[in-house]
Chain A
């Protein structure tokens, strides 16, 4: 590629000088031109040897100077980048367009999700941008008016397949949905299918009556009362909304053959702010948008927490531990609430092999000291739920009644087991040397306690933790893990 660039450049320069030479020779000849001399005659018209007008030479001069200036300023010859640093990407035509990013970023900062969506509803620019995004991306299926059509749900009514809160709508747009109803032909007899068809088509016609066949086969998705389930996208069958046809033949066909309906995902195609404005627009189409916002869990900070810029090296960490440090996969511990020194120390234990876990050892092997410190400081900076004070019931002699609570807060001196709270803190909130236990995932806690026993996890001062765990029974380990995970 480089040699070809040089070829083009050299040829361009040669051609430039030939042009200059030709024009210059004409300019020289101009002096000897004689406008009275006739060169030739065509049909009585004389061709005189008149000089070329000066303006042509001026124009050529300007063009030559312009070419040289252009070559100096812009990427032109071979790999020359030009003095003004122009790149192909700067070539984009920038229309006068609405930039909603600042509006949305300002709203997201330090607001709960509920406040975020309430404020977004009030921003006309956000809704306008959502509307044009809807026209480009959604209207082909859901219609320009969002009222949907056969096979494509309406977005303006109150009947939501996967939930109508802004968080649900956001998730639907970002991840897409793959709804699947199994085929019942061959599982149920023809008579049963006919009975179910009749039952389902009558569901919206009178007061609800249960049906043994429906309970046995359909209720796990559509619910005992046939009201549908948002989690799996099973529709409500008691209302008058029929996405795939209301005729008995349609219902029967869907029971027999099943149904798979897909909403594509837009998470890769649209930015977060675009999906937020799209979500806000869709919610604004509802008759009472505030109702939908109120469906959300109160006091979540999903969007404002994601606002924190995530360093690239942490992408592997957050895949399992979550960007909020609350654990994205089952079995991955919550890191929010652990202290920086503790996390850093654990990372080093994985490197030295004193703590064994194939996944973690693999990932940590690629980190240098700076990365490990960064990971430790990032996860320790995340907020974790506060722990409320627990006052266990005690008997007359001062011992805690519940055996699990007793182990945590008092220990068992008969068996020389110290209380968890001795090292992990009064509320097991942790310290730079000891991890927080309260609210940690129970699967994780249980595995760790067993790992201490088998020696897959070591590295504690004087085998402190191992000595404690060796004295615990399997049942105690299980009930401790459960109890600690529920402490809030």
Chain B
């Protein structure tokens, strides 16, 4: 056998492929069939049109570069950021915004913490509220209007990926985002984080 591995490229490729396929079938393949079970047990709800638009702003502005959305089940993290993530929280997330860099705080449960007014003031000028903050200012977000056709397109894309939006929801979405600024959408998105998956009092324990 070792003769053939060291001598024959085909044998080497075949054996390597078999080993890799074992891992694939044990670790990756079953995951494709969990989605429906996760949809049964999840408390997460699909984003509204405005929140989805805000999520696009979140991605476009590169918020993921500094903010995670992944609370690990460690006491210091639970105390500071609230309920740890669970697999079923992300059934409607395409793509994940877990991120890996925490220059700013984790935002998984940020919707439970502040008010809309706070977010608006903070996005326009973070240093006005938290003097030590190093977050950049985003005043222009509240000057630029959302592009309605982009929102509809992004809802349709989500529907293709498995988010249960109905056609009427997609049609009505234009009236919901009409005239709203990018900042309004981002604030709506931030205010929705952690709200659906919240648990009863004492989360931080």
Contacts and interface: CB of A to CB of B under 8 A. Distances in A.
A269 interface: yes
Contact of A11 (B1, B22, B82, B202): B22
B113 interface: yes
Contacts of A357: none
A475 interface: no
Chain B interface secondary structure, helix, strand, loop or mixed?
helix
A211 B155 CA distance: 56
B12 to A, nearest CB: 15
A92 interface: yes
Contact of A93 (B29, B74, B128): B74
B33 interface: yes
A91 interface: yes
Interface in B82-119: 82, 109, 112-118
Interface residues of B, number: 38
Interface string A238-275: 00000000000000000000000111100111111010
A79 interface: no
Contact of A94 (B26, B33, B75): B75
B200 interface: yes
A462 B166 CA distance: 62
A interface, size bucket: 35 or more
Nearest to B200: A268
A358 interface: no
A91 B84 CA distance: 12
Contacts of A12: 26
B34 A140 contact: no
Contacts of B79: 97, 136
B180 interface: no
B76 A1 contact: no
A269 B201 contact: yes
Contact of B73 (A5, A92, A262, A272): A92
A274 B202 contact: yes
A7 B37 contact: no
Interface string A164-189: 00000000000000000000000000
12 contacts: A1-B33, A1-B34, A4-B33, A7-B30, A8-B25, A95-B74, A151-B117, A262-B116, A264-B114, A268-B198, A268-B200, A271-B204
Interface of B: 1, 22, 25-27, 29-30, 33-34, 37, 73-76, 78-80, 82, 109, 112-118, 121-122, 128-130, 198, 200-205
Which 10 residue pairs across A and B have the least CB separation, nearest first? A271-B202, A4-B30, A93-B74, A262-B115, A8-B26, A1-B37, A15-B22, A11-B26, A92-B73, A95-B75
